[in-house]
Amino acid sequence: MRRSLHFAWSAGIVARPVGRKYCLFLMPDESTSVLTPPSLPAEVVPPATPPKSRLRWAIHLAIMAALPLVAGLSGSVVDRKGPALTSSARGLLVVSGFEVLFFAVFLGLAWLASRASKDDLLLRWRPRFWVFPLGAMYSVAIRISVGIVAWWGLRIAFAFNGADPERYLKDHQPNVGALVDLHALAHDSTYFWLNVLLVSFVVGGLREELWRSSFLAGLRALWPRTFSSNRGGIAAAAVAAVFFGAGHLPQGTLAAMMVTIVGFLLGVIMSVHRSIWPSVIAHGFFDAASMVLIFLLQYLPQLRQAAELLKDIAH
């Protein structure tokens, strides 16, 4: 009986009770269409992702590699009669705007060539809340690391020729006055805070780390097997640091060496977190602390005189 009912159902016939017996009725077409199971949708094939053009990424990388070299060369050719950041708050804003615009042109041309995505440039905010605390701690660690590496590197380098590293550091220390007006930094509060906030975190931190992330993106796109892994990220950071340090050679060998070490450490931080923002914050805090130290050094003789005066009064 069950086999008969199954056959009747498959043939479009339904059994309905009439009294104590079952009678077979032919189902209408509408019932048949309703009871017929729906057909499975056709398999949706996602569109194929177009491969990245090596030529376009090569143009991107060439533009970003040329940027620090062009900036360093132009800085050495231009004959400035004062510090690079001028001596007033208004002049500082003009120079900062020009620097950002100059970089934006290069970055825009590189992006038009490669059409780099947000992930290519590591622009995602990671690791969320920890970006600012990590950035502050990284800035301290970078300053300590740079001091240790520079000191021992010079000692090892001069051990073979008998030169004195302390004398070398004194004779080749960076010319801070060529960058910032020391008098304005010490006596103009607006000029001071623009250097601490705008120059340190935007002109220095954001602009230079955007350059680094764009340079690293070009290396990963052209040589993914070499530079996409964790070790490859460290190697890419080293390559970017060499290019960035070369752009600072007109400022002196010691300055270029310091910039190379700092750039390498910032690139490693960026590669480890797969985000630009810890490096931006670390870079900003590093530059801001340098500005504060320069400011304090302007008052160091006065502080020493005050300390000696207090000592004399105490005795």
- Residue ranges per structural domain of the chain: 2-29, 54-305
The CB-based long-range contact list for 100-104 (8 Å cut-off, 24+ gap) reads: 100/202, 100/203, 100/207, 102/71, 103/67, 103/207, 103/210, 103/211
Q: What pLDDT shows up at residue 119?
A: 94
Taking residues 20-38, report their average pLDDT: 50
Whether 33 has a pLDDT exceeding 50, the answer reads no
The β-bridge relationship of strands 13-18 and 21-26 is antiparallel
pLDDT band at 5 (very low <50, low <70, confident <90, very high): very low
pLDDT at residue 79 tops 70 = no
**Structure confidence by residue, pLDDT tens digits, 146-162:** 888 877 877 777 776 66
In the predicted structure, residue 62 carries a pLDDT above the cut 70: yes
Tell me the backbone φ, ψ of residue 24, rounded to 5 degrees. Answer: -95, 135
Higher pLDDT, 217 or 257: 217
pLDDT band at 248 (very low <50, low <70, confident <90, very high): confident
pLDDT, residue 177, reads 80
Residue 312 in tokens: 């004399």
Q: With beta carbons less than 8 A apart as the criterion, state whether 69 and 248 touch.
A: no
pLDDT at position 264, please?
A: 96
Tokens standing for residue 195 = 């250097």
- Mean per-residue pLDDT of the chain: 81
CA 200 to centroid of chain Cα atoms: 14
Q: With beta carbons less than 8 A apart as the criterion, state whether 284 and 204 touch.
A: yes
The pTM of the full predicted model, rounded to 2 decimals, is: 0.78
What single DSSP character describes residue 160? T
pLDDT at 32: 46
